[in-house]
Amino acid sequence: MTTLLSASNVSRAFGGVQALNGCSLEVRRGSITGLIGPNGSGKTTLFNVMTGYVKPDAGSVTFEGQNITGARPNKVFELGVGRTFQLTRIFARMTVLENMLVATQREESWLRGLTRSKSSPRELEAAMEWLNFVGLAHLAKLEAGSLSYGQRKLLELAYVLVANPDVILLDEPAGGVNLTLINVIAEKIQALNEQGKTFLVVEHNMEFVMKICHQVTVMHQGTDLVTGTPGEVRTNPAVLDAYLGGGDETDEELEELANG
Amino acid sequence: MKKWSNLWWLAGLVVALVLPLVMTNPAYRGIAVYTLLFTACATSWNMFSGYSGYVNLGAAVFYGTGAYSEDLLANHLNMSGGAALFWLVPLSGVVAMLIGIPVGLVALRVRRHTYVVITIAIFFVFQLAATNFGFTGGTAGLTIPFIPWMASYFDVPFYYVALAVLIFAILLSAGVRRSRFGLQLLAIRDDEDRALGLGVQVAAVKLTGYVMSGFVIGMCGAIYAMKQGQIYPQFVFDPLFDITVALMCFFGGFGTLVGPIIGGVVLESAQQYLTVTYSSGGSLYLIIFGALFLLVILFMPRGIVVYVKDWWGRRQSRIESSQTAATAGVAS
């Protein structure tokens, strides 16, 4: 499998805190790659660097062989890198359907937007199709702000998907979501992966990560500690050390990590 | 529902068209012209600030620029007073847009509250510039060639031109609301960073919206300049203008199409009426405006239109549920 998206030796400091310190990550085409690590290990910052929200102090980000270091978020999205946020972000005062429509044309110039209507029949169809996929089609006309937390997660996933990106970065897709819905989300990701979509997933729920990921990278103190299959990572002593040393992980999480 | 709203629009248009024929008192005609101008400004202001959430408290930059362009163009082209001066109105709107490009580039670099403060600061820069530059006539202002129309008839052409500008503003605002561009403005209002991450070119979209709103406001300034004959920096670059236009939108319904129209018609005609009627206490309306602003923010923070819509919706659902209950009672 070839590399689709990669970060190499990325560093970034916020004030005196070195959030990223020479971190490298590789996402292969067609894979589901997991990114785990204790709280504050720099996972979300790495996401932000890879999607253009944060400019790195050093290092580079490459997508399909093209250097995209420091490109603006809209440019990164236009090229085909979609993402969701840890704290789900939707357009609360627009309808669910309008939320979907924002993302339908990722390669369109803003000038074109002045002269065309909100949506074409084809875009509407695609939006409804993906809403159907995540099971929100019946709520299309509702104001998005009235959705529950779990529904917002699904909506965010749906409107990233409608733009048909090549790789999707998911920041804690199972965070704060009930068990049934976690399984639904896992199934959706796997189904999409079988159709050829590539995923990079940050998640604290180890069961979720171990179940769906082909390859896992463990981050610690702003750098990549270990990369391997879920099985390899689980038994790696350095990983257990990082979690124990991290101090802010619960016993259950350690247990989960050890037992898978 | 849809049919009813079309009827409302049609009724409004008919009333607006025949009003100056019925209302022959020149003082009231004057009030009507200002009401149309301010309603057009509020509609246009709302098209950017209401949709995107970027509250612009320096809209008088456009208004004053439009007013000065009208006078400067008329004088430099050696035009004589008359209806031909109306041709300069759209041109002045374009000048306001052009001035809006560098202003927008500076102001829109920052977000939300900081943006509001920057727009106020830029407004005062313009007011100071108009007061101190030579080509603007300094504190003495500028004069447009005298328009020799009869007093009884004077405001009628202004009325219909202002009405045309208002209709244009409403159509533009409605068109934006239906376009992809409008969708992007709304997305920026709700979550700008998220919109950016979904491919919305936020900087370009915001600047376009800002500059577009300047076109109508600039045209209104130009019509004002023509009607007044004489303009002074403190009256066309007027902080009260900034606040009034924003208040009209908040009063009627921020971010809605109808809100600024209701706000503009109600507030501007009330203000003008109070000023004309109680000319000695010219600042009475300011006290009333202040009180009104507080009441709106406290009790109808989303404006009359949204408040009434919610109230109507609740009433309908109450009626429906009581009807269902009644039928259920009969059945049992």
B157-191 confidence digits (pLDDT tens): 999 999 999 999 999 999 999 999 999 999 999 99
Q: Which pLDDT belongs to residue B124?
A: 96
CB pair distance less than 8 Å for B195 and A102:
yes
Give the gap in angstroms from C-alpha B254 to the nearest C-alpha of chain A.
13
Give the gap in angstroms from C-alpha B52 to the nearest C-alpha of chain A.
12
CA B202 to CA B188: how far, in whole Å?
A: 7
Token output for B184 = 């992007």
% chain B with pLDDT above 90: 65
Q: Which residues of A206-234 are buried (b: 16+ CB within 10 A; e: fewer)?
A: bbbbbbbbebbbbbbbbbbbbbeebeebb
**Best residue in B183, B210, B306, B309 to probe A by mutation, most A CBs within 10 Å?**
B183
Q: Which pLDDT belongs to residue B215?
A: 98
What angle (nearest 5°) sits at the alpha carbon of residue A219, between those of residues A213 and A223? 135
Q: Is the pLDDT of residue A229 over 70?
A: yes
Is ipTM strictly over 0.95? no
CA dihedral A162, A165, A167, A169 (to 10 degrees): -50
CA B100 to CA A83: how far, in whole Å?
A: 34
Judged by DSSP in three states, B295 sits in helix
Q: Which pLDDT belongs to residue B61?
A: 97
Nearest to A118 among B178, B197, B205 (CB): B178
- Which residues 6+ apart lie within 8 Å of B128 measured at CB? none
pLDDT tens profile A12-70: 999 889 999 999 999 999 999 999 998 889 999 999 999 999 999 999 999 999 999 99
Nearest to B186 among A94, A106, A116 (CB): A94
CA atoms within 13 A on the CB side of A205: 18
Judged by DSSP in three states, A173 sits in coil
Is residue B55 within 8 A of residue B246, CB to CB? The reply is yes
CA B24 to CA A97: how far, in whole Å?
A: 50
Query: Token pair 């076109």 is at which residue?
Result: B215
Q: Is the pLDDT of residue B331 over 60?
A: no
CB pair distance less than 8 Å for B202 and A74:
yes
Nearest to B199 among A77, A93, A94 (CB): A77
CB pair distance less than 8 Å for B194 and A118:
no
**H helix count then E strand count, chain A:** 11, 10
User: Which chain A residue has the Cα nearest residue B206?
Assistant: A110
Write the DSSP symbol of residue A176. T
CB pair distance less than 8 Å for B193 and A109:
no
% chain A with pLDDT above 70: 93
pLDDT classification of A258: cutoffs 50, 70, 90? low
CB pair distance less than 8 Å for B179 and A110:
no
Write the DSSP symbol of residue B53. -
Residues of A in contact with B199 (CB under 8 A): 74, 77-78, 103, 105-108, 163
Q: Listing from the earlier edge strand, what are the strands of the sheet with A215-220?
A: A81-83, A167-171, A198-202, A32-36, A215-220, A223-228
DSSP per-residue codes, A177-229: --HHHHHHHHHHHHHHHHTT-EEEEE-S-HHHHHHH-SEEEEEETTEEEEEE-
User: Which chain B residue has the Cα nearest residue A162?
Assistant: B198
- Which residues 6+ apart lie within 8 Å of B167 measured at CB? B13
pLDDT classification of B256: cutoffs 50, 70, 90? very high
Nearest to B204 among A53, A77, A110 (CB): A110
pLDDT tens profile A74-89: 999 999 999 999 888 9
Is residue A99 within 8 A of residue A140, CB to CB? The reply is no
Is residue B47 within 8 A of residue B175, CB to CB? The reply is no
Residues of B in contact with A118 (CB under 8 A): 178-180, 182-183
Give the gap in angstroms from C-alpha B302 to the nearest C-alpha of chain A.
12
Nearest to B198 among A92, A110, A163 (CB): A163
Nearest to A118 among B180, B190, B204 (CB): B180
CB pair distance less than 8 Å for A110 and B178:
no
CB pair distance less than 8 Å for B180 and A51:
no
Give the gap in angstroms from C-alpha B173 to the nearest C-alpha of chain A.
12
pLDDT tens profile A161-172: 999 999 999 999
Residues of A in contact with B195 (CB under 8 A): 91, 102
User: Which chain A residue has the Cα nearest residue B185?
Assistant: A102
How far from each other are the two terminal CA atoms of chain A, in whole angstroms? 26
Helix axes B26-45, B202-228, angle to 10 degrees: 170
Q: Is the pLDDT of residue B50 over 70?
A: yes
Q: Which pLDDT belongs to residue B176?
A: 96
Give the gap in angstroms from C-alpha A164 to the nearest C-alpha of chain B.
11
Q: Which pLDDT belongs to residue A28?
A: 95
Rg for chain A, CA atoms, rounded: 18
Residues of A in contact with B193 (CB under 8 A): 53, 73, 89
CA B64 to CA B211: how far, in whole Å?
A: 15
Please tell me which residue, B193 or B271, carries the higher pLDDT value. B193
pLDDT classification of B332: cutoffs 50, 70, 90? very low
CA B11 to chain centre: 21
**Best residue in B184, B191, B192, B198 to probe A by mutation, most A CBs within 10 Å?**
B198
Q: Is the pLDDT of residue B109 over 50?
A: yes
Write the DSSP symbol of residue B84. G
Chain A / chain B CB contacts < 8 angstroms: 95
CB pair distance less than 8 Å for A110 and B193:
no
pLDDT classification of B276: cutoffs 50, 70, 90? confident
% chain B with pLDDT above 70: 96
% chain A with pLDDT above 90: 68
Residues of B with CB under 8 A from a CB of A: 178-184, 186-187, 189-191, 193-202, 204-205, 208
Please tell me which residue, A154 or A253, carries the higher pLDDT value. A154
- The pLDDT of B239-264, averaged and rounded, is 92
What CA–CA distances, in Å, run from B109 to A205, B54, B59, B119, B125?
A: 39, 12, 17, 11, 18
Lowest mean pLDDT across A113-127, A133-147, A243-257: A243-257
Mean pLDDT (chain A) is 89
DSSP per-residue codes, B59-75: THHHHHHHHHHHHHHHH
Q: Is the pLDDT of residue B222 over 80?
A: yes
Instruction: Evaluate if pTM is beyond 0.80.
Output: yes
User: Which chain A residue has the Cα nearest residue B175?
Assistant: A117
Is residue A117 within 8 A of residue B178, CB to CB? The reply is yes
- The pLDDT of B273-294, averaged and rounded, is 73
pLDDT tens profile B119-159: 999 999 999 999 999 899 888 899 999 888 888 889 999 99
Token output for B75 = 């004088």
Q: Which pLDDT belongs to residue A243?
A: 77
